[in-house]
Amino acid sequence: MTPLSISHFTATSCIGRGLDEMIASLRARRSGLAPCTFETVRLDTYVGEVPGVDEESLPHELRRFDCRNNRLAQLGLRQDGFMDAVQASVARWGRRRIGLVLGTSTSGILATEIAYRQRDPATGALPPDLDYAGTHNSYSLGAFTRLLLGLEGPATVICTACSSSAKAFSSAGRMIEAGLIDAAVVGGVDSLCLTTLYGFHSLQLLSGAPCKPFDAARDGISIGEAAAFALLERMPPHLDSGALLLTGSGESSDAHHMSSPHPQGRGAREAMAQALAAAQLAPPDIDYINLHGTGTPGNDAAEGCAVSTLFEHSIRASSTKGATGHTLGAAGALEAVICAIGLRHGLMPGSANTERLDPAVEFDYLRENRANVPFRRALSNSFGFGGSNCSLILERSA
């Protein structure tokens, strides 16, 4: 693929609002997972809840979009001068030449879940104030963000479960490469809701403790929430030293099972191999892999298998979900931003909560931070239900 400039980025998760707090938490190896007290949920699990989401207030003219997911989106967009960077990009390219591609798995479904408790006892009707298009619908996130940022280019929301917002980078990259647009706001927002908490519980995939990716005794995921965004732009004629780039992306389908990965990680390996080919790189060119690493026995085993068949055993890799939880549709964008942070600050984050490494792991799984190690290239993995896989390669220019 034609490399693209990642000219600005931000992230908000349970380990921090914006980049400074995120970096401080990663350096301190702080996990944001805590026992679940969300809404009326009664499950013995840990979640990565972002504090203060409910205090976020949407502009009056956008109040039809008011729901937890869009509040989290706005909270995320307000960090790190991201909205100013988008306006500078609008001035550079024009608002019709900037696309918007976001990922989410459940958008604002929480609004409908709550509305189902308030149905009219006689007619069964939902309360009149439930705005389906503004909240529950997946594109609510896209419509809200597009209006908030004043963008008028193509807009799409990708809903491929836990690979959604990684695929947003790939999709927007193609739109730029095909000449449809010159820049794009990409990212992902997913927020806590009952469907995913009780749904993963029904599949017996929720851990009763903070998740421990690649631990020998791992027993499930901890659900988190996040808003992460990046501004992708056509390459400038002169690139500053240290500039961040998206140089590769790869996508594949497992064609195996709806909710469990191919046991040998066939699709995962294919996505990573495609990303390498797109970036014209060989496996030894990658310095660090941010793994999907959800903390379920099956997922981590399959991904570990894929990584060790493609990379040298010296490859350094970790999952950051022990710190942030699994932020589902936002995970791809959140972890791309964590890779960008790592490339900028020379930080390979160690895996929070992983105590005893799975003896089957055949690569350098980082349990401690590697700080002050300048490195050039990171690969980020995101895999989802339906066997949907996406790998991204981020690079720091020399």
Active site residues: 162, 292, 326
Of 49 and 251, CB closest to other proteins: 251
* Bridge partner residues of 370 (DSSP): 348
CA distance 224 to 101: 21
Q: How far apart are CA 160 and CA 20, in angstroms?
A: 30
φ and ψ at 245, to 5 degrees?
-130, 150
Residues that bind other proteins (CB under 8 A): 1, 96, 105, 109, 112-113, 116-117, 119, 123-126, 130, 132-133, 137-140, 142-143, 146, 152, 154-161, 167, 170-171, 174-175, 177-180, 194-195, 198-204, 251-259, 266-267, 270, 384-388
* Nearest partner of 342 among 292, 382, 384, 287, judged by Cα: 287
- Provide the β-strand partners of residue 189: 227
Instruction: Output the smallest distance, CB 382 to other proteins, in A.
Output: 13
Least distance (Å) from other proteins to the CB of residue 174?
A: 4
Q: What's the gap between Cα 265 and its chain centre?
A: 20
Residue among 127 and 374 whose Cβ is closer to other proteins: 127
CB 70 to other proteins: min, Å: 14
Alpha helices by DSSP H, listed for 189-250, are: 194-202
Nearest Cα to Cα of residue 109 among 388, 296, 329: 329
Kindly state the smallest distance separating residue 172's Cβ from other proteins, in Å. Answer: 9
Q: Which of 123, 145, 377 is nearest to 245 (CA)?
A: 377
Closest CB to other proteins among residues 41, 357: 41
The set of residues, in sequence order, having a beta carbon less than 8 Å from that of 124 and lying 6+ positions away, is none
Our CB check for other proteins shows the closer of 13 and 391 to be 391
Q: Amino acid identity, residue 43?
A: L
Strands of the sheet containing 34-35, edge to edge, are: 34-35, 46-48, 223-224
143/245 with CB nearer other proteins: 143
Least gap, CB of 43 to other proteins (angstroms): 9
The first and second tokens of residue 186, run together, are 């990409």
Residue 120 or 368 with smaller CB distance to other proteins: 120
Distances (CA, A) of 229 to 56, 179, 246, 266: 18, 22, 14, 29
| Paired tokens of 142 | 């896209």
With a CB cutoff of 8 Å and minimum separation 6, the contacts of 202 are: none
Minimum CB separation from other proteins for residue 160, in Å? 4
Based on CB atoms, which residue is closest to other proteins, 155 or 307?
Answer: 155
247: CB partners within 8 A, 6+ apart: 1, 3, 278, 279, 281, 377, 393, 394, 395
* Spatial contact of 138 and 104, defined as CB atoms under 8 Å apart: yes
